[in-house]
Structure 1
Amino acid sequence: MTRGTGNPPKRGAPQNDLGRHLRRPLERLRRHTGASLAFAGRVVPGSSDEHAIELSYFDGDVVGPLRGARLDHGHGLGGRVLTNRRSTALHNYVESPLITHTYDAIIRAERLYSIVAAPIIVGRKQIGVLYAARRSHHDQLGDSLDIVTDEARALEQQLTVSEVLGGLRSDRDELELAAWRSRVQDSHAKLRGLADTVDDPSVRAQMLEIAAQLAGEAPHDEPAVRLTAREQDVLGLLGAGLTNPAIADRLGIGLHTVKGHVKSLLVKLDASSRFEAVVNARRVRLIP
């Protein structure tokens, strides 16, 4: 509760690794999906041997008892996602036959109607659930479900990298390295994007050669994986942690076009996930 008002703060989260990474994803979810409220829950020990979801992180106005609610394994939308480990969309929460209705009173008090949710899984362990919710009816939830799922996958990648680096370096070293890598990745992506706007073939070739050097690729080596120019652009932005909608905005192309390029990258890089594609791409020096 905030002092003086007794109202819950707009955003708030326990200071753990998940909470530190959630602020921007939740902001993006509200912006890209048009949701009234974006929120997330972390996996906590349940009342029995099963785990539960505790709703702790929010972007948007919380008007009811949602903050701090604990959802048991298998119950409600969060419990279903925790059980099935799959993204799920509900057009009308309180009338959906897909879930138990243990928490309908909370949903009604919060005045939520359509909700989508995706699991957050790191190292095969589910650590949380990401949500986007509307306070009005919305039939077309497919795009929202894709956006929430993409944000969950990007968050998993960030958390995995953070976990690995945290075991090797001090907090200060990790922050400095992450900032440096982010600058290099951003420069690599911008340079490739700028090269697409240059008409002079010689200048464009030099810019792409510099981008290849940023990625650590020897310019005259035969690449282990052959990508189109646009696939390389998408891969660079994936490596920088951007979601599919953000990549579409940056490159000025459609969301479905981005998804097609990502699917092609997964095949060419022999990867089963976006994170694995980025790891494999760095291994063969396609991106920094």
Structure 2
Amino acid sequence: MDFPSAGETDAQLVSRAVHQLARRTHFPVVFGGIEHDHSVEVTSIVGARTKHLEGLVVHESRGLGGRAMVEKRPRLAVDYRSARGITHDYDQAVLGEGISTLFAVPVVVGARARGIIYCGSWSKSPVGDVAGQAFGVAQELATELRVRDEVERRLSLVTKATSDHGMDASAREGLRETYAELRSIRASIEDRALRERLGALERRLASLSTAEIEIGAPEVRLSPREIDVLACAALGATNAEIAGTLSLKEVTVKSYLQSAMAKLDASTRHAAVAKARRVGLLP
């Protein structure tokens, strides 16, 4: 069985984040990359006037970005040339570009720094509200990486467990857990573009069960929240557990479940889940 790609490449993800940050802030130079083997190669640059930053590789603990990786927190050098507390391994690239103020924000996933996003200015500049914008973009990128990693891990397990006769029980349960987790993550994100990309991943996961969709089944339309609560209920979660996962009140969860059951013409949540799977709304 061939499965669709779980997401964009590292270079595509960081490029979108860098361009997004450049649009949100007044900093003239924004660049970044994803970590591989304890170092970050800069793969996306916006606003540079020279080629000094191209191909820059920042090693863990070296330079401003390397310190940010190790400490897993942002690092700022208002006057990079005279900055203390960092090594100056990359002065040729940074000063060659003419950067005076440099702000490095690590992209932290779990306990690991997975990349760095930099904001640079050719003069000494206060960071101000740029810090919040940079944190937001880094967190969005971290979320995408975390989701992509988990989807790829689960799909890998599904691939290994799949035979010519279809998925075994363990693989199918892993698929359903991933789907429910994606729904809960998506529900907590305000960024519309990111929500749409997560929605695309959800549809890819749901499509893995299309072979079992009931032929000729009547069309059923559920709201996004009704699908959210059903996806959690499919894993055996109680109303209280669903409420905690989706940041809803328990009475609200009950209302969504009852509405979904009515639309699916099901008398119990278990019957609703089974019907939702037969019509292709859940994996």
TM-score normalised according to structure 1 size: 0.53
Letter in 2 for 1:153: Q
Specify the alignment match of 1:243 in structure 2. Answer: none
Specify the alignment match of 2:43 in structure 1. Answer: 56
Contact 2:70 2:113 in 1 (8 A): no
Q: In terms of Rg, which structure is larger? A: 2
State the Cα deviation string for residues 258-281 of structure 1 (Å, max 9, x = none): xxxxxxxxxx97xxxxxxxxx654
Letter in 1 for 2:27: A
Pair 1:24 & 2:38 matched: no
Pair 1:156 & 2:156 matched: no
* Aligned equivalents of 1:76, 1:181: Cα separation in 2: 34
Specify the alignment match of 2:32 in structure 1. Answer: 40
Specify the alignment match of 1:242 in structure 2. Answer: none
Contact 1:118 1:148 in 2 (8 A): yes
* Aligned equivalents of 1:161, 1:183: Cα separation in 2: 11
Partner of 1:79, secondary structure, is helix
Specify the alignment match of 1:182 in structure 2. Answer: 196
Question: Cα distance 1:180–1:168, how it changes in 2: closer, same or farther (>3 A)?
Answer: farther
Matches within 5 A, 1:102-121: 102-121=89-108
Matches within 5 A, 1:230-269: none
* Aligned equivalents of 1:76, 1:121: Cα separation in 2: 18
* Aligned equivalents of 2:56, 2:146: Cα separation in 1: 27
Letter in 2 for 1:158: E
Candidates 67, 86, 92, aligned match of 1:80: 67
Return the offset for 1:18.
2.0
Partner of 1:168, secondary structure, is helix
Question: Cα distance 1:98–1:32, how it changes in 2: closer, same or farther (>3 A)?
Answer: farther
Question: Cα distance 1:16–1:182, how it changes in 2: closer, same or farther (>3 A)?
Answer: closer
Return the offset for 1:158.
0.9
Gaps of 5+ in 2: 1-6, 157-174, 187-192, 200-221, 231-238, 257-283
Letter in 1 for 2:138: A
Partner of 2:12, secondary structure, is helix
State the Cα deviation string for residues 183-207 of structure 1 (Å, max 9, x = none): 897xxxxxxxxxxxxxxxxxxxxxx
Return the offset for 1:212.
4.7
Candidates 75, 80, 90, aligned match of 1:93: 80
Letter in 2 for 1:150: G
Return the offset for 1:59.
2.4
Q: Percent of pairs identical after alignment?
A: 23
Which aligned runs of 4 or more in structure 1 are off by greater than 4 angstroms? 177-181, 209-212, 284-287
Return the offset for 1:29.
0.8
Gaps of 5+ in 1: 1-14, 46-50, 186-208, 218-222, 226-267, 270-278
Question: Cα distance 1:96–1:166, how it changes in 2: closer, same or farther (>3 A)?
Answer: same
Question: Cα distance 1:106–1:162, how it changes in 2: closer, same or farther (>3 A)?
Answer: same
Question: Cα distance 1:63–1:79, how it changes in 2: closer, same or farther (>3 A)?
Answer: same
Specify the alignment match of 1:168 in structure 2. Answer: 154
Contact 1:116 1:144 in 2 (8 A): no
Partner of 1:89, secondary structure, is strand
Letter in 1 for 2:42: L
Contact 1:65 1:109 in 2 (8 A): yes
TM-score normalised according to structure 2 size: 0.53
Return the offset for 1:27.
1.3
* Aligned equivalents of 1:19, 1:119: Cα separation in 2: 16
Return the offset for 1:210.
6.1
Question: Cα distance 1:150–1:180, how it changes in 2: closer, same or farther (>3 A)?
Answer: closer
Question: Cα distance 1:116–1:165, how it changes in 2: closer, same or farther (>3 A)?
Answer: same
Letter in 2 for 1:149: F
Specify the alignment match of 1:124 in structure 2. Answer: 111
Return the offset for 1:30.
0.8
Question: Cα distance 1:180–1:73, how it changes in 2: closer, same or farther (>3 A)?
Answer: closer
Question: Cα distance 1:183–1:17, how it changes in 2: closer, same or farther (>3 A)?
Answer: closer
Letter in 1 for 2:68: V
Question: Cα distance 1:183–1:127, how it changes in 2: closer, same or farther (>3 A)?
Answer: closer
